[in-house]
C-alpha cells in the first residue's frame, strides 16, 4: 500500500494510511461506519509522524484515497475476478 510514496510527506502518508485502513483494518457493511473507522485509524497512524497536522492531512486526502484502488482494478475489491469475465 505504501509503494511509490514519500512517507515523510504528511499528505502522502495520510493517503497511504487511508488505503491501508480501508483494506486491512475496517470491516463493516455500513458505509458510514466503515468511513468513520478508516478516518479514525488513518488519523491515529498519521499523527504518529505528524502530531500537529495528521488529522488535517487525512481530511484533505480522504475522499480521493477512499476511491484509489491502484494498482488493482476496482472489481478486485469486491471479490470479482477479471479472469472470470473473459
Q: What is the pTM of this model?
A: 0.78
For the chain, the average pLDDT equals 84
The pLDDT of residue 6: 78
| Residues of the chain under the 50 pLDDT cut | 1-2, 75-86
Largest Cα–Cα separation, the chain? 49
Amino acid at each position: 500500500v505504501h509503494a511509490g510514496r514519500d512517507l515523510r510527506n504528511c499528505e502522502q502518508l495520510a493517503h497511504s494510511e487511508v488505503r491501508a485502513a480501508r483494506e486491512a483494518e475496517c470491516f463493516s457493511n455500513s458505509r458510514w461506519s466503515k468511513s468513520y473507522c478508516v478516518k479514525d485509524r488513518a488519523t491515529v497512524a498519521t499523527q504518529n509522524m505528524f502530531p500537529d497536522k495528521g488529522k488535517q492531512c487525512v481530511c484533505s486526502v480522504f475522499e480521493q484515497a477512499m476511491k484509489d484502488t491502484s494498482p488493482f482494478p476496482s472489481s478486485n475489491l469486491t471479490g470479482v475476478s477479471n479472469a472470470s469475465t473473459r
